[in-house]
Structure 1
Amino acid sequence: MIGNRILLFFIFLIFQAACFAQKGTPLSIGISEVLHSDILGENRTINICLPDNYNPSDSVRYPIIYILDGGVDEDFFHIAGIVRFVTQPWIDRFPQSIVVGIGGNTRRRDFTFPVENTDFIEKEGFQRANFPSYGGSEKYRAFIKNELIPYISGNYKSNGKQTLIGESLAGLFSVEILLKQPELFNDYIIISPSLWWGDEFLLENADKLLQRNLKNNINVYLGVPNREEDLKMYNESKALSEVIKSNKQIHFVFDYIPDELHSTVIHQAVYNAFRKLYPKTVYSKE
């Protein structure tokens, strides 16, 4: 009998706690929209974080920061947090910005370019079965250029300045855009890129592609984690950095982050990218 009373008492406490919790105000950092792509023949979830002072009725326009791995279970939340931090008025390292995360990607298909054969996959230590679909990067670049960017610019207050953030396979895709369509973005934040894809085709052709396609000044950050974890990846990134820094139209930062691994580097790298590309900040005693 006493045991039943104790049980009922705890059930009552849990019920009261639940009722109390429901009285709170929900927290929200953004909105999610579904964008249909005719180019891809699929829907994409687009997560959007607006500046605190965003007002559709005023004349203020904002830079757009695109996150390739931008799902809510990927990098959207913590990168949006970094952007919010560096754009606070007492820091003012980067202008107030709209953050756009692209969710629902089929990464191995969307972020890789076509190859004649896949022998290199096993040479790199992966199984070919892990890449049942690949080579869709051209379509995905077209989706970003012809559908996503126009959609964001048409529905949100863009000022035309655009940043791209990509890591690993998304870093490979970011390098491909940088080399083939560099005019799409003003800033490239590239982290631990998978340059091994296609037997290092992009790396081998980087200088030729940049010379042919780059017409305007841009900013590029390339961050890499501990070289002992993957020396080949480090050497590939270092070789790419030599090509990029030789181009006078690129303000370039190479950032070696020895305390991070491939799986942990993105958060520190994105923070470093804003700090190193835009070192000036406002000092406040408050």
Structure 2
Amino acid sequence: MKIFIPLLLLFFYANKDFAQSAKPIVIGRTEEIQSKELNEKRKVNIYLPEDYNPQDSITYPVIYIIDGGIEEDFFHIAGIVRYNTQPWVNRFPRSIVVGIENTDRKRDCSFMVDNLDFLDKVGFKKESFTSYGGSGKYIAFLENELLPFMDKNYKTTPNRTIIGESFAGLLTTEICLRHRQLFNAYIIITPSLWWGNELLLKEAPSLLQAKNKNKINVYVGACNKDEDTVMYNDAVALKDVLIKQGGSETNVFYDYMPDEIHSTVIHQAVYNAFKLMYPHTEYQK
């Protein structure tokens, strides 16, 4: 015991000194925006390219993640972007990544409906949707507050991508169909298009007939069809209507991933989406 205690103390203090000299690994920063549109503060997590310099003239595309919280998809998607923009890979354009922290996901990602009777058909209880129908305000937050904030405070290009999966995929689809001018690329993964008795799918043909449309890329990803037949069929229906009605201004990529399930699909889908949208060495900033 007389020998053990000094050795234990030596180990403790050595590790204490080591811990004090250790430096954190920083991959991003968090900004806080007071939103008038949402009447609340919203946190956004931001990854900057490793050679980002506020003093030079280089500008960067921006990738927005709806489910972009620290405990959601910010870290792993920022990791995909960072790795694939390394000089020895050079697959994607160097980009800024913006992850939006959720406060009330169901409210923000869903449009208003007259009633919730359709929930029974897709296996949800009405009691689980205590708030909904706020997508209009959320889109206004994006258009009037977050996008201008990023353009004012960071070195951005007009090239914007938005990523949404599941309920966030519903919102991303709504933006694509009703506010397509906000983004150049839409990554839509297993979207919850069953919301409102598939109203967005029903309205899609007429919404896609709008004139003076900006040119966009749209990726639609679907996971194993046996896990959720409704969401698989809706993803296929979205792909079909985008191809049929989207015209030459809408470049559509469809990706069925039978080896992925709903909870695992987003990482593979985002990687696949950027590979399809940015063929190696052919991307543009």
Fold similarity call, TM over 0.5: yes
The alpha-carbon deviation at position 159 of structure 1 amounts to: 1.1
Partner of 1:93: 91
How far apart, in 2, do the equivalents of 1:88 and 1:9 lie?
45
The alpha-carbon deviation at position 162 of structure 1 amounts to: 0.3
Partner of 1:57: 55
The alpha-carbon deviation at position 16 of structure 1 amounts to: 2.2
How far apart, in 2, do the equivalents of 1:261 and 1:44 lie?
30
SS at match of 2:210: helix
Partner of 1:66: 64
Q: 1:170 to 1:11 in 2, by over 3 A?
A: farther
Partner of 2:257: 257
Partner of 1:170: 168
SS at match of 1:115: coil
SS at match of 1:134: coil
Partner of 1:241: 239
Partner of 1:278: 278
CA RMSD in angstroms comes to: 1.6
How far apart, in 1, do the equivalents of 2:13 and 2:220 lie?
51
Runs of 4+ in structure 1 off by over 6 angstroms are none
The share of aligned pairs that are identical, in percent, is 53
SS at match of 1:267: helix
Partner of 2:139: 141
Q: 1:12 to 1:127 in 2, by over 3 A?
A: farther
Question: 2:68 aligned with 1:81, yes or no?
Answer: no
Q: 1:8 to 1:167 in 2, by over 3 A?
A: farther
The alpha-carbon deviation at position 21 of structure 1 amounts to: 2.3
Structure 1 length-normalised TM: 0.94
> What amino acid does structure 2 have at the position aligned with 1:240?
L
Q: 1:145 to 1:201 in 2, by over 3 A?
A: same
Partner of 1:180: 178
Question: 2:210 aligned with 1:220, yes or no?
Answer: no
How far apart, in 2, do the equivalents of 1:131 and 1:107 lie?
10
Answer whether contact 2:35 2:41 (CA < 8 A) is retained. yes
Where does the alignment leave 5 or more consecutive residues of structure 1 unmatched?
none
How far apart, in 1, do the equivalents of 2:272 and 2:10 lie?
49
> What amino acid does structure 1 have at the position aligned with 2:251?
H
> What amino acid does structure 1 have at the position aligned with 2:194?
W
Answer whether contact 1:180 1:213 (CA < 8 A) is retained. no
The one-character-per-residue Cα deviations of 1:12-32 (angstroms, maximum 9, x if unpaired) are 423421321221221100110
Structure 2 length-normalised TM: 0.94
